[in-house]
Amino acid sequence: MKKVFLTGLLLPVFFAFSLPSKVPTICNCDPVSNIVKTGQGTGSVTYTWDGQDEATGYEVWYVRGLYTSPVYSTSNTSFTFDGLVSGSYTFYFRALCGTAESGLIGANDVLQL
C-alpha cells in the first residue's frame, strides 16, 4: 500500500518537470504585395511581387477550373508558371516565415496563349 501511495505522489512531480512546455510561436509574416505580371510567352506566364523582410521563402500555385496545380516553393520574388493553356486562372502567392505562413494573395488572369 505504501508503494502505490508513494508512486501516486511521485508521478505528478515527475511529469511536471519532464514534459516540455509549448512556447507559442509569434510570426509577423505579412502577405506579399504588388503582384505584377511581368512576362507571358507560349504556355507560360511570369509574376513578380514585393517580398517581406521576415520571409524565408514563398509558395505559389494556380487554379484553373477544377484543377489545382502543385504548390511550388521558391526563395525568389518572381516565378514563371509553365505548361499553361489559354483560359481563366487564379494564381496564388504566400510568404513563408519559418514554419508559419502569411495569408494568401490571389491574382485572377485570363490567358490567351
Domain positions in the chain: 33-111
CA–CA separation, 97 vs 85, rounded Å?
A: 32
Tell me what pLDDT residue 74 has.
Answer: 97
pLDDT tens-digit map of 23-82:
444 557 889 999 999 999 999 999 999 998 889 999 999 999 999 999 999 999 999 999
CA–CA separation, 20 vs 42, rounded Å?
A: 54
Question: Which architecture characterizes domain 33-111 according to CATH?
Answer: Sandwich (2.60)
Q: What are phi and psi of 93, to 5 degrees?
A: -135, 135
Q: Quick one: cell of 13?
A: 512531480
Tell me what pLDDT residue 2 has.
Answer: 54
Contact 39, 45 (CB under 8 A): yes
Distances from the Cα of 6 to the Cα of 16, 24, 34, 75, 104, angstroms: 16, 35, 65, 56, 55
Tell me what pLDDT residue 27 has.
Answer: 55
